[in-house]
Amino acid sequence: MVLSTNAPAVETIRSATRHDTIANLFAHVPDVYEAWELPSVAFDRLIAALSGRLPLVNGRRTGPLILLSGDVHFSFASRLLYKAATRYEDSQPQPITSVIAQLVASSFRKQTDNTLGFHRDGYNFIPHWYLRPLVPRRKPEGYVGWNVPRDSERAVGQIGHEVAGAWVPLLTLNLDQPTVAVSPDGLFLGVAIDAATPPDFSYRLDYLLPTKDGIPPAQPPAIPMLGAGATQQQRQQAAEAFHLATGQYRRYNSGSPAVSKIIGVNNMGEITFDWSTDPKKRKVNHTIRWRSSEDIGEDSSSGEPDPVQFTDYVVSLDPDDADFSEITPRAMP
């Protein structure tokens, strides 16, 4: 699915939307309202609509969804685990399990001071120091939701905090929208859910770090050109050369950990798949190509353009991946 805006955007943009008066204190930033916010009714409806197109397997809709988005002028990848017994606004229960990979490639030519800030600081970048308390640090996010009308005033749990291992309730949790955050807990307060009103669906959102980055070999194997009358053998040779070339650049710096960052310089994205016969081993690769000299706004000392660098984000499409387990809310005592 191609989306013109992020679903969802990074936390800096989402925090600016939630605290728009402060975000627009010194400059008007209309773009922050364009993304699909999580949590929101619009996001719940989007995911319900997309998941309805998944195949039905043993009574449960199951499979991956790939979202291609942009419009923020930097590139990254996120992973959303979506599980539901009943989706928002379903008239009948419709079990769903899906991994939703969002691949953001933006932009070909529109880097700014802010995108270079994301390139430097990654997901924790903030454009102004006074926004720091409002922007959560990058960590897995958990949300749960109920298939009830907005502003239903249904009590589903408590807001409070733990003291010496004991739960101290402060407020009753009423639904002013169908979906609420259960992790991270925020600065002081957490959420405990009443076992008598279990959630109907849940999300786990992860902003992914690159698996590796670096400069590939300067001379990859040449891929022979094919004419209209190419033989099967010639096509096979061209396919083998292509796989050798792509495999070669994917081995750059493979033994070194990648730098934690978003790509905020002018870039171009490439999407490939590791499509194993075993669905649990399937992955989508988001490879971003960019030049480092643009990062600092200077030409290289040699007068020649810096070599193209590659940054890889890899999204596991296995809903049971142990590294991305469902975030379950605290049970209310």
pLDDT for the residue 25: 72
- State the chain's maximal CA–CA distance in angstroms: 76
119 sits in which H/E element: helix 113-121
pLDDT for the residue 224: 67
Q: Is the pLDDT of residue 30 over 80?
A: no
Output the pTM of the full model. 0.84
DSSP 240: H
Cβ-proximal residues to 164 (8 Å cutoff; 6+ apart), any chain: none
Q: What is the mean pLDDT of residues 229-254?
A: 67
pLDDT in tens, 82-133: 999 999 999 999 999 999 999 999 878 888 888 999 998 899 898 888 778 7
Q: Is the pLDDT of residue 247 over 60?
A: no
Cβ-proximal residues to 318 (8 Å cutoff; 6+ apart), any chain: 99, 279, 280, 281, 282
Cβ-proximal residues to 154 (8 Å cutoff; 6+ apart), any chain: 146, 148, 174, 175, 197
pLDDT in tens, 201-223: 999 999 999 986 666 555 555 66
pLDDT in tens, 59-70: 999 999 999 999
Give the pLDDT band (50/70/90) at residue 185.
Answer: low
Annotated domain spans of the chain: 11-216+252-331
